[in-house]
Amino acid sequence: MPTKLAIGAGVLGLLLGTVAPAYAQQHEPTEERRAGQQEQLAAQPAQQQRHEQPQQTYGGVYHGGVQPNGPMHGGVHDSGVPQHQEQVRSGFGQSRASNWAFEHRTWRQRGGYNGYRIPEERFRIYFGHQHYFRIAGLPMLFVGGFPRFQYDGYWFTFIDPWPGEWPANWYETDNVYVDYVGDGYYLYDLMHPGVPIAVTISF
């Protein structure tokens, strides 16, 4: 019986000695498997990037991709958007109405406001007739011949021309505010009450 046990143990050891390395070899990654796994891992971030929402450059298509903090060369963005006082005056001059009553349209006449809406609680704190400011000195661009300025983290783009009866430098001297009235956002000048200039809002 001791001989049978010794033989059985020897056979068992022999079997385990050959089966275990074969099993391990079968489940151990080969060089080809390792290369394939590395390629899969490398491809995962690229696939994830494709599935993630692409980060939009500031302004997107509507605003010509102009970066508000982009490089300036002699006061002009690479895009050619004016930034100097004389260039801003020229831009405002081009957006002046010759007949404001005829050229102005409300948001209702435009089919309704469909742009970004400022959250109500933030709007009450920073906007409305009790929260006025001056446009002069704020970051300024011109889009399609109309002024676009940044205030409180939002960009406001004129959709209407401004009344030709106003002084040419009203944006430098007059206090203005943005309000949501009835059908959309409008810019109002405290020196010229009741004259709404339609604006759109974006980040």
pLDDT (tens digit per residue) in 58-110: 333 333 334 444 444 334 444 445 457 788 888 888 889 999 989 999 999 99
Higher model confidence: residue 94 or residue 40?
Answer: 94
Mean pLDDT is lowest, of 30-34, 51-55, 107-111, 198-202, for 51-55
- Is the pLDDT at 49 greater than 80? The verdict is no
Q: Check residue 2 and give left, alpha or beta (phi > 0: left; psi -120 to 50: alpha).
A: alpha
- pLDDT value at residue 59: 33
Which single residue is written with the structure tokens 């801003």? 88
Q: How far apart are CA 25 and CA 19, in angstroms?
A: 10
Query: Could you tell me whether strands 146-151 and 76-77 are parallel, antiparallel, or unpaired per DSSP bridges?
Result: unpaired
If you write DSSP's letter for every residue of 173-195 in order, what string do you get? HS-EEEEEETTEEEEEETTEEEE
- pLDDT value at residue 40: 55
Cα angle at 76 between 143 and 149, to 5 degrees?
40
- pLDDT value at residue 13: 53
Q: How far apart are CA 178 and CA 126, in angstroms?
A: 9
pTM of the complete model: 0.60
- Is the pLDDT at 180 greater than 70? The verdict is yes
- Is the pLDDT at 52 greater than 80? The verdict is no
Cα torsion through 93, 150, 157, 83, rounded to 10: 30
Hey, where are the domains in the chain? 2-51, 80-202
- Any residues with CB less than 8 A from the CB of 59 and at least 6 apart, and which? 65, 66, 67, 155, 202
- Is the pLDDT at 116 greater than 90? The verdict is yes
For residues 170-180, give the mean pLDDT.
96
